[in-house]
Structure 1
């Protein structure tokens, strides 16, 4: 009886939530709920989403990764003025990876249709002319070297699987699925696994769901909470965002106290080797926490939302971009304050670098894609309105990256590997950071061939190009080794004068947390 009573209460609470947000309560056996939205409002919200993320990434651009493990103090003014958008679009076009990555996938849908295969998306971004980093670059290398999606994003093949990459480029999935978060998740399953896995993938699923729900609710607190239903409750990503919601409710007037709670409990990096034993943190969940921090404490105020999401630090251009896009979708383009749209009209016809798309063009394409997805998911379109078959968010599958791996130490190397480099370590996993270089810019690129030997056995042969866009992000990584001592040897089989492979440092993993005050007692807080 207790179990039945608990289930009944749960269903009642869920129905009440939908009653408050969408109208009268619905029983499970009733037909799927719908929402009618005017086509003019739909267009306005899509414009608001794309414009909002462009505004957000521009605002946070100067602070990106300048504040790691700290927030930006109140006395520091973050500039915004008429002409600022154009200045960044012209002078620093690489800032807009949040946008042109989205547009790469939008373009594939536009050319090949809504059923385009995953390889079309993977090949489009792997062969694009723009520079990539972290999970995206590791996935690009994998794809160019024969490891296809979804294996290209799996943590065994991608040390950056939990990084922020798909989270910052998933906006399109939500914007083309108004009120249909599960349909957005299906797209994220296909495209997000090209470069991410586990918590890194959940970041994109969650952001996409928030965009989707922002079309049909004016309550940002509801959107933040309801979208989290798309993420498995047993995942660290879910637990992190759930904690932020709890802390907001505990400290509703003090975003900095919640920031400190996030830092205390969720700032330990495990996967990305650049962030292990370092204040740098490009992990998806902590940066998603900063998005939510901005949305909750901003409470629908556009300025406060951008300010807090930016001032939280770390990836402080991507986070206000996501927050600004989600809130921009909810408000619609016309209600974004004029202060933030200063100079926007001057850039809306400018094509983003590496693309043939401008904001005005993607406003139109995004609108047409949204209409198509509404039809595909049981909705209808007439002369002036769209009827959306609303979807209750459901959880995607559970997956976890770097299971059973715990950082043990970082060891400095800082030397060129001319022929071979060998060393010993003790643990269950290792990542050697480094890169390939040419001594002079005018030299043609060279592709090194290397061998990895562990405990006297050749494990893999791989290539490293001096072409930065095709580079291998780390020299090598190997997880799930037996616990104990290991001997590693890296051999360069085709050295060449004027070119070098440089080894920076390596990170060692063990099968349990390091004991002692320096690691677990005072930092973890879990």
Structure 2
């Protein structure tokens, strides 16, 4: 076994910019990479600290700039004490942290081989708020649809959303230099709530974290990690475009942002994002992570600013970019400006958890040591030797293939209506709405309704009125014959104090109907 010293590795990784990712992978083949345990711990701390800083910094702009970037003159605040203030006053902002911590806690309690149900039940029955794919998965799990079906696009209209992408950090932080191990760790967890591009977003982010332990070349990390994603997927093509555009416009991130917007801003799945500037799709938000990393060139200021100013999910994107950069540089090299107030919050448990930053630093470090041993590396008194892995693509899966949104029709039904219906022509639909109490302060209640399609009962669905266990959309059905259909909903247990509200219905066809389709 050949062992490269940390000095030799540094020379190797900081070498000629002309060296290709393939050349670097070949140079590592069959060799071990040596890191001091202090450096390993420092990088793990940097990863957790970086993502916490990033999500806090971008919090005020989250989904306030959709379909546009944030102008240079728009101030984004950062000051000593801001971290503590935000953690105390806006704990729901940290969903990408407390979901991560939930999975870390399961690994700590049940071991590295914990079954998928342990992870699924841990977050499904937690008391924190969730949204989009996570909330849809929570509802599915609580109503008998287990993973991976809980994340499949036929059962989860949010399958391509950003959810696992923002909570896959833990998988890379426990898999230093081992991107395939990071992906494998996240596979069963990511499919609890996502599928297709939604799953690939988490696989990609986990792989970037993993490679950030062994390289200080941002271009290498971004490009090499993409190899875990199948080249035929739309996620791969999107990120490949961003890498290409950055080379074409090396000094103009806004021009690359424009190219991303032109080609990749359409959303097919998320009912809130279709026919809207709002876009929580994993693919385009991953593009903004990469935008920040490539144009930031390893600089924290530029990386945080660009990944935030790209807009859309502009707290989660700098969180991922900052965590990857923090892993690459290490905690001690995060600039003092960005660590202002960090010491004040490192012993504070994130709300809804028993886990603080200081606690997860230590737990992730132990998990990393175990994963190093499991994958052919060694742990000595002061160093670790890692067997680096060449990234391998996972299986191909794509959500919503052959589905084209053709209309979203306002449809408002509520008080006093225990039955309602509509007709449409197409291959699928989503009925948007919710169950709610008519008066604030009413106790929780579960409405039940039957769905009929073309006169035949399709399913009976429960609708909790509490936000914690809500169903994101009322009904949906994909893959229907391309013809005219009738949809009817009958409320089974009407109650004078509660109602099933509808807002609109989204229709899909098996081909575009807009005359502009294809004019790209």
Q: Verify same fold: TM over 0.5.
A: yes
Alignment of 1:68 with 2:66, yes or no, is yes
* 2:232 paired with 1:234: yes
> 1-side partners of 2:442 and 2:314: how far apart?
36
Residues 256-304 of structure 1 show CA distances to partners (whole Å, capped at 9, x for unaligned) of 0000000000000100000000000000000000000000000001100
Q: 1:331 aligns with which of 325, 329, 332?
A: 329
Distance 1:402 1:111, change over 3 A: same
Match of 1:94 in 2: 92
Q: Distance in 2 between matches of 1:237 and 1:451?
A: 36
In the alignment, which residue of structure 1 is the partner of 2:55?
57
Deviation at 1:17, TM superposition (A): 3.9
1:510 matched residue in structure 2:
509
- Specify the SS of the correspondent of 2:489: strand
Match of 1:448 in 2: 447
> What is the DSSP-based 3-state SS (H/G/I as helix, E as strand, rest coil) of the residue aligned with 1:339?
coil
Q: Is 2:379 the counterpart of 1:385?
A: no
Q: Secondary structure at the match of 2:337?
A: helix
Give how far 1:20 is off.
6.0
CA contact 1:514–1:520 (8 Å) conserved in 2: no
User: Where does residue 469 of structure 1 map in the other structure?
Assistant: 468
Give the CA deviation at 1:440: 2.5
Mark the runs of 5 or more structure 1 residues left unpaired by the alignment.
1-14, 27-31
Do the aligned residues in 1 keep the contact of 2:178 with 2:388 (CA within 8 Å)? Answer: yes
Contact 1:371 1:381 in 2 (8 A): yes
Structure 1 residue 124 and structure 2 residue 122: aligned?
A: yes
Match of 1:314 among 312, 315, 319: 312
Deviations 1:342-363 (A, max 9, x none): 0000000000000000000000
Match of 2:111 in 1: 113
Which whole-Å deviations, capped at 9, do the CAs of 1:431-472 have from their partners, x for residues lacking one? 000001012232211101111000000000110000111000
Whole-Å Cα distance in 2 between the matches of residues 271 and 303 of structure 1?
A: 34
Q: Distance in 2 between matches of 1:18 and 1:370?
A: 24
In structure 2, C-alpha distance between the alignment counterparts of 1:24 and 1:462, rounded to whole Å? 56
Corresponding residue number in structure 2 for 1:269: 267
The question of whether the paired residues in 2 share the 8 Å contact of 1:56 and 1:320 is answered with yes
- 1:494 is aligned to 493
Structure 1 residues 36 and 19, CA gap change in structure 2 (3 angstroms): farther
The separation in 1 between residues aligned to 2:398 and 2:271, in whole angstroms, is 17
Contact 2:28 2:388 in 1 (8 A): no
Aligned CA-pair RMSD: 1.3
Q: Which residue is equivalent to 1:3?
A: none
User: Aligned partners of 1:441 and 1:215: how far apart in 2?
Assistant: 51
Match of 2:4 in 1: none
Contact kept in structure 1, 2:21 and 2:224, CA below 8 Å: no
Contact 1:267 1:286 in 2 (8 A): yes
Report matched runs for 1:339-358 at 5 Å: 339-358=337-356
Which position in structure 2 is the counterpart of 1:409?
A: 407
Matched, 1:424 2:420: no
**TM-score w.r.t. length of structure 1:** 0.94
Partner of 1:207: 205
Alpha-carbon distance in 2 for matches of 1:42, 1:427: 54
- Alignment partners' CA distance in 2, 1:356 and 1:25: 39
Number of residue-to-residue matches in the alignment: 502
Match runs of 1:184-195 below 5 Å:
184-195=182-193
Mark the runs of 5 or more structure 2 residues left unpaired by the alignment.
1-17
1:23 offset after TM fit, Å?
8.6
Output the TM-score relative to the length of structure 2.
Answer: 0.95
Deviation at 1:33, TM superposition (A): 2.3
Kindly provide the CA deviation profile for residues 184-228 of structure 1, in whole angstroms up to 9, marking residues without a partner as x: 111111100000000000000000000000000010100000000
Q: What do residues 402-456 of structure 1 show as CA deviations (whole Å, max 9, x unaligned)? A: 0110000000012216311111001001000000101223221110111100000
Following superposition, the deviation at residue 19 of structure 1 comes to: 8.0
Instruction: Provide the C-alpha distance between the structure 2 equivalents of 1:130 and 1:89, rounded to a whole number of angstroms.
Output: 14
In the alignment, which residue of structure 1 is the partner of 2:246? 248
Change (3 A) 1:473 1:19: closer
2:433 is matched with 434
Contact 1:151-1:157 within 8 A present in 2 as well = yes
Contact 1:16 1:25 in 2 (8 A): no
Q: Which moved more, 1:438-447 or 1:500-509?
A: 438-447
Q: Please give the secondary structure, in 2, of the residue aligned with 1:303.
A: helix
**Separation in 2 of the partners of 1:414 and 1:25?**
61
Query: How far apart in 1 are the matches of 2:28 and 2:233?
Result: 30
Distance 1:25 1:364, change over 3 A: closer
* Cα contact 2:21–2:220 (8 A) shared by 1: no
For 1:202 and 1:442, the matched residues in 2 are separated by 41
CA distance in 1, matches of 2:104, 2:28: 36
Q: Distance in 1 between matches of 2:244 and 2:26?
A: 27
Q: How does 1:478-493 map to 2 (within 5 A)?
A: 478-493=477-492
Shift of 1:18: 6.0
> Counterpart of 1:172?
170
Supply the distance in 2 between the matched residues of 1:16 and 1:277 (Cα, whole angstroms).
43
